[in-house]
């Protein structure tokens, strides 16, 4: 087993604090200046132009079940794609960062 883990992501944003507020309101994270945090999540937004490389560059958020995935898809008006390993959908945040919300196929 590895002795390191991904701790946070620094993401460029035109309006870092505005984007933090969106993540806090949308996902129930805590807004702290230019940081959005919650259990196992730390997103840090720095001034800059968004990296528009969807879908190959995206933020992946795992949910525990297909029922929760369906709830999130409903909130975003998104369609779920069923895969061999995961079920998923992708949406964009207000600065066009690609977000993938997914769960294990058999959950």
Local confidence pLDDT in tens for the 107 residues of the chain: 778 877 888 999 999 999 999 999 999 999 999 999 999 899 999 999 988 887 788 999 999 999 999 999 999 999 999 999 999 999 999 999 999 999 999 99
Q: Write out the H or E segment, with its range, that includes residue 68.
A: helix 66-76
The single-letter DSSP state of residue 84 is S
- The CATH homologous superfamily to which domain 53-107 belongs is 2,3-Dihydroxybiphenyl 1,2-Dioxygenase, domain 1 (3.10.180.10)
Model-level pTM? 0.88
In angstroms, the CA 44 to CA 19 distance is 10
Residue 81, CA distances (Å) to 18, 38, 75, 78, 102 in order: 30, 27, 16, 10, 9
Please write the tens of the pLDDT for every residue from 37-65: 999 899 999 999 988 887 788 999 999 99
Q: What is the per-residue pLDDT for 54?
A: 76
Look at residue 3 in the predicted model and tell me its pLDDT: 80
């Amino acid at each position: 087993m590895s002795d390191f883990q991904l701790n946070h992501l620094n993401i460029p944003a035109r309006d870092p604090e505005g984007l933090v507020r969106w993540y806090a309101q949308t996902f129930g994270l805590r807004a702290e200046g230019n940081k959005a945090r919650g259990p196992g999540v730390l997103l840090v937004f720095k001034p800059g132009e968004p990296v528009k490389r969807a879908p190959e560059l995206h933020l992946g958020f795992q949910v525990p079940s297909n029922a929760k995935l369906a709830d999130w898809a409903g909130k975003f008006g998104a369609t779920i794609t069923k895969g061999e390993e995961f079920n998923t959908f992708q949406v964009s945040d207000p600065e066009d960062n690609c977000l993938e919300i997914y769960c294990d196929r058999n959950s």
